[in-house]
Amino acid sequence: MNWHDFKALERYLRSKSFAARLQFWKRHVIAPALIVTALEISLPYWDAQHRGHHSSQDRLVLFAAFLVSWIASLLLGRWSTYKKAKHAGLFDQDFAVGLCEAGLWHKDTAGEGTTFWSAVKEVLDFRDHIFFILSIGDAIHVIPKQSFLTFEEASTFHQEALRLWQKHRASSQPASIAHQ
């Protein structure tokens, strides 16, 4: 996984949850806008009380300074998130994946294993990635489509994963439910 994959995962999670979208907007847009607005209103008033005058040009400079500060804080927050994720070992790992009747086979620096189809809640084709959403905890396997040689290869992998996952789901349902 790299930074691009991490951002795609964030976008996917926001697309699935209204609460996550709201939290994103609240943290990255609404709160900073309210802070900038409050400072725009209060600081020129405070400055006028102490200096006795201020112009609209002073206000514009102040607004530009707050805007630059806001953008810098957003970038610092993203950089901090990136560094934490990188330090946790989420990025730049070599991995291999494959499909089998039992589930999704994967091998990385931590070891080798199979995520069984019974643990997969959803198989998704989302923009430039294939996601395997797991039913245990909040785990997700992220497979970038760029790791395949061609787009057709990625599409074939996704279709085969869907087929195997749906086959497992159909075989694991009770007979009375499966025939309805």
How far apart (Å, rounded) are the C-alpha atoms in residues 107 and 123? 19
Q: What is the mean pLDDT of each run of 10 residues along the chain (180 residues)?
A: 70 76 80 76 62 64 78 83 75 81 88 92 88 83 88 94 93 59
Amino acid present at 153: E
What is the pLDDT, as a whole number, of residue 49? 59
* Domains of the chain as residue ranges with CATH: 3-87 (no CATH), 96-172 (2.30.29.30)
- Residue 123's closest CA among 78, 90, 88, 168? 168
- Tokens 């785990």: give the residue: 139
Q: What are the structure tokens assigned to 74, written together?
A: 């957003």
How far apart (Å, rounded) are the C-alpha atoms in residues 150 and 95? 18
Residues 6+ apart with CB under 8 A from 149: none
Contact in structure between 146 and 132 (CB atoms under 8 Å):
no
